[in-house]
Structure 1
Amino acid sequence: MTWTCRYGLFALFVVVLVACAAPSLAPAREITFMVPGDAAEKAAYERLVAAFRERHPQIQVTLIHIPGQSDYRKRLGIDFAAGTPADIVLINYRRYAPFAARGVLEPLGPYLAQSAVISADDFYAEAMTPFIWQGVIMCIPQNLSSLVVYYNRDLFRAAGLPDPSPDWTWSDMLEAAQRLTRDANGDGVVDQYGLGTEVSLFRLAPFIWQNGGDVVDDPQTPTRLTLDTPAAREAIQWFVDLQVKHHVAPDAVAEAAESSESRFLNGRLGMLLNSRRGVPTYRTITDFDWDVAPLPRGKQRAGILHADAYCMAQVSKQKEAAWTFIEFANSVEGQRIIAATGRTVPSLRAVAGSPVFLDPHTRPANSRVFLDGIAFIRAVPVMETWVDIEDIVAEELKRAYYGQASVDDMIETAILRTRPFFDPAR
């Protein structure tokens, strides 16, 4: 055999070896994943990404973290408008409709139908249903939470108050808030408030529902706000009176000086209305004991849905890799990672009912409150202009809540200002 022939055979052998090794030498697929939240939430998603990399080393995930909710929403809008969104984004059900309507989200129903890891039946329907757009599942829900009452157990004990009962009422909560509101040094300035809340339609809505009223005329195809019905008006007045009449919540000046959440963290607020998302932050509390209670009931029980979902950008060039991450994040393993941080009420029934979520030795001890409330949870309408409607109502509600307008004036102005946003032809 000639040297030329031997060289040719050797070269062929090298080519075959390289071809066989090609998959391991292929560059990793790269995807981006954008989330909002505070430092504790960021840490939760870092753990999720790290676990995913162990399972799928061939996919490189870059986490993009935007701390503020407002900044995050602006970034979403800018990125989608520019055609440069992250491959995967976390979006609340109240805010994904404008993106779905513009066709910039990749429908995930077909991916879910083919998955051997997760199926639609694994999730709470209350979490999945709001993410169905024109009959197709657009995003996969990560969580669902009701609004609950976080309370400082040490302050309750000091005031001679028992822990809130599962069936406590509006009047029970008001009485507790009054006993928890204190001017400790007698200087005429309240040092400790009984109750704190975000002043928004989203916080107000469950009380309207509990009183037999509604926020809109038709939850599926709304054409107007219905805050002017007697039942809704009565609930709004009760909510506003917490601050204006009973003074158990900070006024505008006090809230601007220190937020209610900060007061709760510092042990100077008896009760705080919030969803599950605050838990990682509240777990940093070491100076006092705290837990959660259900919303007090009115004429009937009702809660309000909080749910976020993993959505895929339609322009993603790595859709298979992006789906692999979304699938992992919503698998039992993935949801356990986020649930262990306290960030979520898992949307997977199997994880929500497991010790990783219901661990009584980890605060809040009474996490079952979140699951018990699912049967009474309601969602606000999913529509392109809902965020605008909420923003307008919040502006008017704050005027009433902080004593700058009457409830009647607030209702009339809110309905008038939001009317154009219910008009699809505007």
Structure 2
Amino acid sequence: MRKLILLLFTLLLMAPALAGCATAPIQHSTAFMVSGSKEEYDAYQKLVDSFQTANPAYKVELRYVPDDADYLRRLAADFAAGAPADVMLLNYRRIAPFADEGALGAVGPYLAKSQVIKEGDFYQPALDAFRYKGELWCLPQNVSSLVIYYNKALFDAAGVAYPANDWTWADFVAAAKALTLDKNGDGVTDQYGVGIDPILYRLAPFIWQAGGELVDNPANPTRLSLDSPAARLAFQWFVDLQVKEKVVPDAAAEAAQDSQSRFLSGALGMYFNSRRSVPTMRTIKDFDWDVAPLPRGAQPASVLHSDGYCMAAKSKDKEAAWKFIEYANSVTGQEIVARTGRTVPSLRAVAESASFLDPAQKPVHSQVWLDAVPTLRTVPVMSNWPAIEDAASKEVERAFYGQASVEEAAAAASNLTQSLFKKSAP
């Protein structure tokens, strides 16, 4: 009895110490900010949970702003107020203004010292996209490209063969026309062949495929080149999808139901987007779908879609910020997000594994994204590029919806952006 009492007394004395061993105190904290769909948010929550389980002394606050435009406004406001998230996701096209304002901290020095990841582990096009003025500003989470999501049931019903890896612009238009239907004969299109955003970023790969350029000098741009013969050819082909072929919803139809929603409802044959739509597409229960590469012009080309984990220059705990970025871009971290469907992993080891190329998960032909890597190109990374792209996209939209000719839109885009190029000059 005396021994039992002594044992219980000893266990009581040890209880606080044992409790301390079971739950490590939080020593580091960091905030991570993202945008996107509910499915995308869920992907990042899984990443955060895994990081905290592996690193119990670290706490991550996940900040979520669903709309991309609201996200950028919130990020700019937080930076201006001196209270940004420690880590945020940014598309490579958006890093230059933040880097020029001193808002971002370069991650290159951290990567050089890492014992977990190294430069050679990543696909080079993705890593190079985040280099600006001699510094690596962010680590790319993905190496996506623009692809075509297609409704297999609608292709079958129309008697159209699924897209081939080497299909052409003409093949694409023929398929789109066959998929565009007025089902009840009332003169109103009920099913469209194609959904695509009428913006410069969607037009870009077709200009490159035609042998044209977006700007006069990709290494040191001073003006847009949408008025060159090759660029005009691609621009006109792009616009004709709506104004001539009528295979894309017009402005009123797109406003009534956006193309992604139309695809999800089964009323759209093909939809252009990057890998980020996959988590949402996996919610489809009523029909089968897959992905295909872009149709080819005179030469193969696609456009890089890549977001990177970036660090705030004023982060109060850079050790914690880097540790999370490092984990997110380790094999373990990238596998977690890859399995949700959100990314084409920027790490070769993960992209070429079953975590991404899982035949049991849709889309079946995820290899399409990896096949596109050698053809990936980027838009300029410069301080005023976001403003240039926005202004040019308004003119692309005008032409796309028949409110201006291609020649008028190209000239207006050049005139409206010329001063922005001068402001970005070194």
Structure 2 partner of 1:219: 218
Conserved 8 A contact 2:141-2:309: yes
Structure 1 partner of 2:58: 59
Give the superposition deviation at 1:28: 3.1
Structure 2 partner of 1:352: 351
Inter-partner Cα distance in structure 2 for 1:26 and 1:174: 61
Inter-partner Cα distance in structure 2 for 1:262 and 1:67: 16
5+ residue gaps in structure 2? 1-12
Conserved 8 A contact 2:196-2:202: yes
Inter-partner Cα distance in structure 1 for 2:325 and 2:61: 14
Structure 1 partner of 2:198: 199
* Match runs of 1:21-170 below 5 Å: 26-170=25-169
More divergent stretch after superposition (99-108 vs 115-124): 99-108
Conserved 8 A contact 2:26-2:59: no
SS of aligned partner of 2:30:
strand
Conserved 8 A contact 2:26-2:58: no
* Match runs of 1:251-266 below 5 Å: 251-266=250-265
SS of aligned partner of 1:94:
helix
SS of aligned partner of 1:150:
strand
Matched, 1:332 2:331: yes
Structure 1 partner of 2:302: 303
Conserved 8 A contact 2:242-2:250: yes
SS of aligned partner of 2:395:
helix
Inter-partner Cα distance in structure 1 for 2:26 and 2:45: 22
Q: TM-score, normalised by structure 2?
A: 0.94
CA deviation map 1:14-49 (0-9, x unaligned) = 9xx99xx89987543221000011100000000000
CA deviation map 1:156-203 (0-9, x unaligned) = 010001110100000000000000000001111000000000110000
Structure 2 partner of 1:406: 405
Give the superposition deviation at 1:219: 1.2
CA deviation map 1:198-254 (0-9, x unaligned) = 110000000000000000011121000000000000100000000000100000000
Q: 1:325 to 1:235 in 2, by over 3 A?
A: same
Inter-partner Cα distance in structure 2 for 1:425 and 1:255: 34
5+ residue gaps in structure 1? 1-13
Inter-partner Cα distance in structure 2 for 1:240 and 1:133: 33
SS of aligned partner of 2:309:
strand
CA deviation map 1:39-80 (0-9, x unaligned) = 000000000000001100100101001000000010111111
Inter-partner Cα distance in structure 1 for 2:21 and 2:109: 31
Inter-partner Cα distance in structure 2 for 1:256 and 1:97: 32
Give the letter aligned to residue 28 of structure 1.
Answer: Q
Structure 2 partner of 1:178: 177
Structure 1 partner of 2:342: 343
Give the superposition deviation at 1:103: 1.5
Inter-partner Cα distance in structure 2 for 1:374 and 1:245: 32
SS of aligned partner of 2:369:
helix
Give the superposition deviation at 1:97: 0.6
SS of aligned partner of 1:213:
coil
Structure 2 partner of 1:390: 389
Q: 1:25 to 1:264 in 2, by over 3 A?
A: closer
Inter-partner Cα distance in structure 1 for 2:272 and 2:116: 35
Give the superposition deviation at 1:82: 1.3
Inter-partner Cα distance in structure 2 for 1:356 and 1:316: 32
Structure 1 partner of 2:3: none
More divergent stretch after superposition (26-35 vs 133-142): 26-35
Q: 1:383 to 1:425 in 2, by over 3 A?
A: closer
Inter-partner Cα distance in structure 2 for 1:29 and 1:115: 19
Q: 1:318 to 1:404 in 2, by over 3 A?
A: same
Structure 2 partner of 1:5: none
SS of aligned partner of 1:35:
strand
Inter-partner Cα distance in structure 1 for 2:396 and 2:135: 35
Inter-partner Cα distance in structure 2 for 1:113 and 1:398: 43
Give the letter aligned to residue 70 of structure 2.
Answer: D
Structure 1 partner of 2:7: none
Give the superposition deviation at 1:425: 6.9
Inter-partner Cα distance in structure 2 for 1:130 and 1:298: 24
CA deviation map 1:84-104 (0-9, x unaligned) = 100100000000110111111
Conserved 8 A contact 2:383-2:424: no
SS of aligned partner of 2:164:
coil
Q: 1:22 to 1:160 in 2, by over 3 A?
A: closer
Inter-partner Cα distance in structure 1 for 2:165 and 2:294: 9
Q: 1:425 to 1:68 in 2, by over 3 A?
A: closer
Structure 2 partner of 1:3: none
Inter-partner Cα distance in structure 1 for 2:101 and 2:217: 24
Inter-partner Cα distance in structure 1 for 2:26 and 2:369: 44
SS of aligned partner of 1:34:
strand
Inter-partner Cα distance in structure 2 for 1:425 and 1:41: 33
Structure 2 partner of 1:6: none
Give the letter aligned to residue 79 of structure 2.
Answer: F
SS of aligned partner of 1:305:
strand
Inter-partner Cα distance in structure 2 for 1:360 and 1:192: 30
CA deviation map 1:375-426 (0-9, x unaligned) = 0000000011111111111111111111111111101101000101100379
Structure 2 partner of 1:371: 370
Conserved 8 A contact 2:26-2:56: no
Inter-partner Cα distance in structure 1 for 2:289 and 2:249: 20
